[in-house]
Structure 1
Amino acid sequence: MTLSYRVLIALLTPLIFIYLWVRGARAPEYRKRWSERLALQTVPVQARDGIVIHCVSVGETVAARGLIEDILRSYPQLPVTLTAMTPTAAELAQKLFADRVYHYYLPIDTRGAMARFIEKFAPRCVLILETELWPNLLAEAKRHGAQVMLVNARLSAKSLRSYQRFSWLLGPIWSALDLVICQHVDSERRFQQLGVARERTVVRGNLKFDCQVPAATTRAAKQWRTELARPILVAASTHQGEDAIILDAFARLIQAVPELLLIIVPRHPERFREVTSAAQQRFSTLTRSSGQTVSASDQVLIGDTMGELLFWYAAADIAFVGGSLIPRGGHNPLEPIATKTPIISGRHVFNFQPLFDRLTDVNGVRLVDDAEQLAEQCLQLLQQPVQGQTMAAVASEEFAAEHGATARVLADIQGLFPPPNGQARTLKMILTSNPNAATEIWFDDNLATAVSDDYFAPSFWRQKGQIIGSATGRASAWFIQHQPQNMLLRHYYRGGLVGKFNRDRFAREAIVKSRAMAEFSLLLQLRELGLPVPQPIAARYQRAPIWGYRADILVAVIADSQDVFKLLLQRSLTAAEWQSVGATIRQLHQAGVYHSDLNCHNIMLDQAGKVWLVDFDKCGFRTEGEWQQANLQRLLRSLLKEQGKAEQSQQLFHWQQTTDWPHLLQGYEQA
């Protein structure tokens, strides 16, 4: 993004909060969860390292429902976080997915807020629905190395002109997209005009055509309708200016059909009270949120709950789709088509004109202008239900061939971002505990249950007689006999000059970035990639009094193994073993993993000859660069250093640079 954009969004941020406060006068939810608007909230570690799906509002959430369900099934080891901008979308996400996903507001697109957001969630993949693109979000996601995909993407000619006009402000945001999955060919062409590479665009259809009605919803609606034993008209997604027209039409209708029940579902929750009051002035009115049963005397029911629109459509004899009697542009008719409910709409449907044109061509919709026409068309369909059934059938048939976009989109996502292998352990599976206010422990309960502070104290294991050895280095590490997996306990110490007066305190930082937790997370990722590294068991962060923190980690012991340094004190390594060492280091480098302390103490060989790499403190992922050769040179220096020390102490050290190092390099180059 450009400097101009950064300055502009920073200046707009106070105005955004003023807007939220003003909007909150009618919808109090807008005045809540403000910390999320700046990414200042606390995020559980289990939400990290997964998938973020951004659905700006209700429409995108509804469209993506089937895809989100498929992602939850396809990526069971990864956390899924849904983000939105509106309280209604947040409430709907909770209603549809409950605790199967995390939900937060996407923060305001300042550089700082987005950096915090990406740092806290560390997503592997970011999926953005339709065209909700924010420059700082894209920049921070790519800086972190996440795959970014625009899903169900659509771009009108008007939007294309707007993006082109403001390209000086937004900057080259399109290059940050790894894949754009378009609804139709016209949108694909427009995205390419904006600069998205041809090979990064595909056309897969509209997710909204895959609107599926859960069997449980259909059964519940049928049962409710049977118990009610009354004809039902639902007016869905209504806007200000429409409700009075609908109530006028209803007043005409009940003269002919007095048992008719009208269900009004306002589009925005802040209008629930307003619409309820208007209906109460004219009719016996009940709200869904009251929990009361609809009686024979009730004439109007206000659908003032979230996530039930499909239920209302499935229960109704007729569906009026709102936002269309006024110049609002209408709403998506695909949901009542999915429930096979006859549709009536106003003529202001320019937001969904292609869909309504197709419905009009096959007589799958009735269009009206006012209360009189609405009442007339409803009465005709109520008195001649076969006409309504025919309308619903032809509407459903018209879009039947469009189904399947969800499966195609999921295949594209999996192609670019494959699910983890079935044996992988991820942060989503890790448990946390807080023995006290100063301590946090992460642990894998597959390997250790009920991990306490005692697990990180050598004296605890010594009293139990379970310490079976130690390793020396900057300080001792302890080998512990434990089922189902022997463990190595390591406390983190300071090195260099600082370590002479500060043995083990580190400057405080976010727990997820602290030494032990960062190494724990990295080891999980490396094992998922199939790299030969120890399995992490537990890690502890302990805030120290006054200043800093201390850290410890427990990892699985690599059975029947010795480090290269100890082996060279006993014997020479074969050419094949040196080549295996080189090949393993290359495997690490090809995965983009930087080992900050690659030396002969941190390379292990087991009895089967397999090479393992250990001690990943201060390590991480990097893009390809000179660091890879620097890693090799660090290893060479450590071998030469140990050779020199051995000579000084008149010990044998079975290492010859002229013969052994070329074998290692050969293995590295050939891997």
Structure 2
Amino acid sequence: MTFWYKLLIRLAIPLVFIYLWLRGAKAPAYRKRWAERLARQNVPAQARDGLVIHCVSVGETVAARGLIESTLNVYPHLSVTLTSMTPTAAEMAYKLFADRVFHYYLPIDTPAAVSRFLDKLSPRLIVILETEVWPCLVEQCRQRDLQMLVVNARMSERSMKGYQKYRWLLGPIWQKLDFVAAQNEVSAERFLSLGVPSDMLAVRGNLKHDFQIPEHVQHEAKRWRDTLSRPVLVAASTHDGEDAQILEAFKVTLKQYPQALLILVPRHPERFDAVARLVKQQQFNLVRRSDKQTVQSTHQVFLADSMGELLLWYAVADVAFVGGSLIERGGHNPLEPIATKTPVVSGMNVFNFDEIYARLKAAHGVQMVANSEELADIWCTWLTHPEQAAACAEQAFNEFANDQGATATILEDIKRFLPSTETAGTVRTMSMIKTINPNSNTEIWYDPAILDDCTTEHFEAGYWQRLNKVKGSATGRSTAFFVDAGTHGLLLRHYYRGGLVGKFNKDRFKREPIASSRAMAEFSLLLKLRELNLPVPRPVAAQFTKAPIWGYRADILVEVIPGAQDVFKLLLQQPLTSAHWQLLGETIRQLHDAGVYHSDLNCHNIMLDDTGKCWIVDFDKCGFRAFGEWREANLQRLLRSLNKELTKAKEANQAFHFDETRDWPLLVQGYGASL
């Protein structure tokens, strides 16, 4: 991505909102949810740490339905967020998946908006449908080591030339993707020419070939056909400039088949009213889907002004015209009417789907027309000779009958980049966490598998003391309390400032997004670490509280590790065995191999339980990092803490059973590799 792109995309922000406002004059949904266009919306905690699947518009959302369903089944413990650019795609997402997914608009591709978006959702993986690749999004994902896959990807010759022409502006975006699953060999060759590495590219087929007609759609279509009992034509995904031609063709058809019904399905909802006016101006007897009236024998045109029912209308019709093809729009995908075995008619302008239409023409599975006269002629011919229409539909269906399997192979690609957890039934993730707001200044996250309810009192030592549930405390920078909560022992910790700042500001931190605040960040990190089977305590609850005037305060509850003592206390009592020192090194290496950086690795934060298992605790300000010199720095920090406690013990004339020359090589040996 170039400086000029960043500058131009920022300058384009006012133009985007002007466009949304003008578009909203006909489609009011474009004037809503504007905060999402800059990623300034509130995102619930449950949406974090999952998958993001981007389907720019309705077509991609419908195409991805099977893949999304499979993803929900494979990752039941993770949230799935669908993003799009259009309100119609948002409506389709809600219609298909309801509350099983979250939905947001993908923000305008500025560095700040994309950064906010990724901060709020903190996804594990981003999957892009087709070619909706944005430079700032690609760059931010690369900086965060967040993998991005482009699947069901198609690249027309026109689009390829456009990307090549503006490479100076967009930068090397295609080289920075982690994987591209192309629809066909032709698209794959074009992606290679744009710079996608060959080892990150594969041909996986088209998701729409896997399209299955739901049983309820088949039953509903049969009911409509039985009720109508008349010739039915459908003109689907039509654009401005086509409807008049279609109506002209239908006038001619009515002369031969006066009982025929035309189902007209405009591509964009904001055109519904304009198309209705055009139909009336042409003096057709109109009924609209939104009128919720029964279609009478006198009705000639049925305006399908609804979303998500296109498949039904294809299944009802005797012949299907696929729009966007009588004008310079490039056509739309004909695979849905092929799946319903509805004969397909198309205009000549199909460059967006040239490979599919080339196969259809070679198999005699489509009829191409240049104008309204030719459209009327084929409509009348096929209504007169239904056996010809049926043969065309069968040839089209057979041409793509062996092309299924894209959903399964793409799902395997996703699992390769994001392995499904074998213990998904027992792990806890952010999608399972409950969120409450006791007041306007406080947010609490808690695990309902441990606490039936959680209030602000759960973070007050006095509350537990009144219940006589405090069983001890641990001192350090501050006091942490051990609480008996029935079947679970809990550790309550308030976050305090350290160093010089702590002298005059005991426990306030600079205001930041709740999900990034100290307690919430540690809570969500611990969930991830436990999902990776790392030896860390189980998070129970976390609290964020706005402080008066400035800053916030934070608290966390974690599960106590039964029978565990920290290494500092153990060394006050006796030396550790060689096996114990090696175990410490092995455990630290386990975290480092997972890319986990511990900001304060010391002998107080490493524990051994009475079964001999090693644990690491206190993950405030910790996180994941790419491999680097920080691993050696982690070990050196631990060594300094051991020597510091040894020095203090000597000064106090106390025993501290640590000998660097004897013990440290054993820990390094357990760590087991040179850094």
Q: TM-score, normalised by structure 1?
A: 0.97
Letter in 1 for 2:504: F
2:64 counterpart residue number: 64
What secondary structure sits across from 2:553 in the alignment?
Answer: strand
Structure 1 match to 2:511: 508
- The equivalent residue for 1:271 is 271
CA separation of 1:163/1:329 partners in 2, compared to 1, >3 Å: closer, same or farther? closer
What is the correspondence of 1:256-267 to structure 2 with a 5 Å cutoff?
256-267=256-267
1:478 CA drift (Å): 1.1
SS in structure 1 at match of 2:445: strand
Greater mean deviation of Cα atoms: 372-381 or 232-241: 372-381
Greater Cα shift, 522-531 or 417-426? 417-426
SS, match of residue 541 in structure 2: strand
- Superposed CA deviations along residues 326-372 of structure 1, whole A, max 9, x for unmatched, are 33222111100001111122233232233223222333222333333
Name whichever of 496-505 and 583-592 sits farther off: 496-505
Is residue 313 of structure 1 aligned with residue 314 of structure 2?
yes
Q: Does structure 1 residue 295 correspond to structure 2 residue 296?
A: yes
Residue 179 (structure 1) aligned with residue 179 (structure 2): yes
Q: Which residue of the partner structure matches residue 566 of structure 1?
A: 569
1:69-118: CA deviation from partner (whole Å, max 9, x where unpaired): 21111111111111112222222222222221111111111111111111
In structure 1, give the amino acid aligned to 2:394. A
Displacement, 1:227? 2.9
Please name the residue that 2:614 is paired with: 611
User: Is the Cα–Cα contact under 8 Å of residues 431 and 444 in structure 1 kept in the other structure?
Assistant: yes
Contact map agreement 1:443 1:451 (CA 8 A) in 2? yes
C-alpha distance in structure 1 between counterparts of 2:331 and 2:511, whole Å: 53
Q: CA deviation at 1:606?
A: 0.7
2:604 match: 601
CA shift digits 1:125-167 (9 cap, x unpaired): 1111222111100111222221111111222344333323322
Partner of 2:280: 280
1:382-429 CA deviation, whole Å, 9 max, x = no partner?
Answer: 233333222221111111111111111111111122123412211111
Distance in 2, matches of 1:658 and 1:363, equals 83
Match of 1:212 in 2: 212
Q: Secondary structure at the match of 2:438?
A: coil
Name the counterpart of 2:81. 81
Name the SS of the counterpart of 1:486 in structure 2: strand
Counterpart mapping for 1:165-176 below 5 A = 165-176=165-176
Contact 2:182–2:204 (8 Å) recurs in 1? yes
1:414 aligned partner = 415
SS in 2 for 1:6: helix
Kept in 1, the 8 Å contact 2:493–2:555? The answer is yes
SS in 2 for 1:381: helix
1:440-459 paired onto structure 2 within 5 Å: 440-459=443-462
* Residues 455 and 62 of structure 1: CA distance in aligned 2, closer, same or farther (over 3 Å): same
Aligned to 1:153: 153
- Provide the residue aligned with 1:660 in structure 2: 663
Q: C-alpha separation between the residues in 2 aligned to 1:353 and 1:617?
A: 55
* SS across alignment from 2:333: coil
Q: Separation in 2 of the partners of 1:243 and 1:404?
A: 36
- Greater mean alpha carbon deviation, residues 169-178 or residues 307-316: 169-178
* Residue 628 (structure 1) aligned to one of 627, 631, 650: 631
Q: Which amino acid aligns with 1:656?
A: D
2:159 partner amino acid: S
How many angstroms apart in 1 are the aligned matches of 2:328 and 2:609? 74
Structure 1 residue runs without a partner (length 5+) = none
Q: Amino acid of the residue matched to residue 608 of structure 1?
A: T
Q: In structure 1, what is the Cα distance between the partners aligned to 2:356 and 2:650? A: 83
Q: Which moved more, 1:660-669 or 1:257-266?
A: 257-266
The answer as to whether partners of 2:536 and 2:616 remain within 8 angstroms in 1 is yes
Distance of aligned partners of 1:327 and 1:548 in 2 relative to their CA distance in 1, 3 Å threshold: closer
State the AA in 1 paired with 2:402. A
AA in 1 matched with 2:515: V
Q: Superposed, which structure 2 residues align to 1:536-555 within 5 Å?
A: 536-555=539-558
Find the counterpart in structure 2 of residue 481 from structure 1.
484
Report the counterpart of residue 235 of structure 1 in structure 2.
Answer: 235
Deviation at 1:637, TM superposition (A): 1.2
Matched, 1:17 2:17: yes
AA aligned opposite 2:535: P
> What SS does the aligned partner of 2:272 have?
helix
Q: Tell me if 1:224 matches 2:227.
A: no
Q: CA deviation at 1:514?
A: 0.7
Q: 1-side partners of 2:415 and 2:392: how far apart?
A: 38
SS at match of 1:112: helix
2:595 paired with 1:592: yes
SS at match of 1:434: strand
2-structure distance, mates of 1:639, 1:4: 52
Aligned residues: 671
Residues 530 and 536, structure 2, Cα contact 8 Å, conserved in 1: yes
Aligned to 1:52: 52
Which AA in structure 2 matches 1:435? P
Deviation sequence 1:51-74 (CA, Å, 0-9, x none): 111122222222222211211111
- How many Å apart are 1:280 and its aligned residue? 2.3
> What corresponds to 1:434 in structure 2?
437
Q: Secondary structure at the match of 1:41?
A: coil
1:75 and 1:431 map into 2 onto residues whose CA distance is 19
Q: How big is each residue's C-alpha offset from its partner over 1:572-599, in whole Å with a ceiling of 9 and x where there is no partner?
A: 1000100000111111111111111111
Q: Describe the superposition over 1:203-258 as per-residue Cα deviations: whole angstroms up to 9, x where unpaired.
A: 11122222221122112222232233333211101112221222222223333333
- Partner residue in 2 for 1:95: 95
Residue in 1 that maps onto 2:369: 368
Verify the 8 A CA contact 2:156 2:352 in the aligned structure 1.
Answer: no
Aligned residues of 1:470 and 1:476 also touching (Cα < 8 A): yes
Q: Is residue 638 from structure 1 mapped to residue 638 from structure 2 by the alignment?
A: no
CA RMSD of aligned residues (A): 1.7
Whether contact under 8 Å (1:561, 1:606) holds in the other structure is: yes
Q: How does 1:488-499 map to 2 (within 5 A)?
A: 488-499=491-502
Q: Partners of 1:571 and 1:318 in 2: how far apart?
A: 86
Counterparts of 2:228 and 2:482, CA distance in 1: 70
Q: TM-score normalised to the size of structure 2?
A: 0.96
- 8 Å contact from structure 1 (residues 118, 144) kept in 2: no
Looking at structure 2, the residues matched to 239 and 167 of structure 1 have their Cα atoms a distance apart, in angstroms, of 31
Matches of 2:495 and 2:229 in 1, distance apart?
A: 71
1:203 pairs with 2:206: no
2:557 is the counterpart of 1:526: no
CA gap of 1:372–1:194, structure 2 versus 1, over 3 A, is closer
Contact 2:156–2:351 under 8 Å retained in 1: no
CA contact (8 A) 1:147 1:417 kept: no
Preserved contact between residue 51 and residue 81 of structure 2 (Cα < 8 Å): yes
SS across alignment from 2:160? helix
After TM superposition, the structure 1 stretch with the greater mean CA deviation from structure 2, 179-188 or 260-269, is 179-188
2-structure distance, mates of 1:383, 1:483: 79
Please say which of residues 180-189 and 106-115 is displaced more in the overlay: 180-189
Aligned counterparts of 2:402 and 2:632: Cα–Cα separation in 1: 55
Letter in 2 for 1:124: R
> 441-450 or 246-255: which moved more?
246-255
Deviations 1:275-314 (A, max 9, x none): 1111123122111122222233322111111111011111
Q: Secondary structure at the match of 1:553?
A: strand
SS in 2 for 1:432: strand
Displacement, 1:670? 5.0
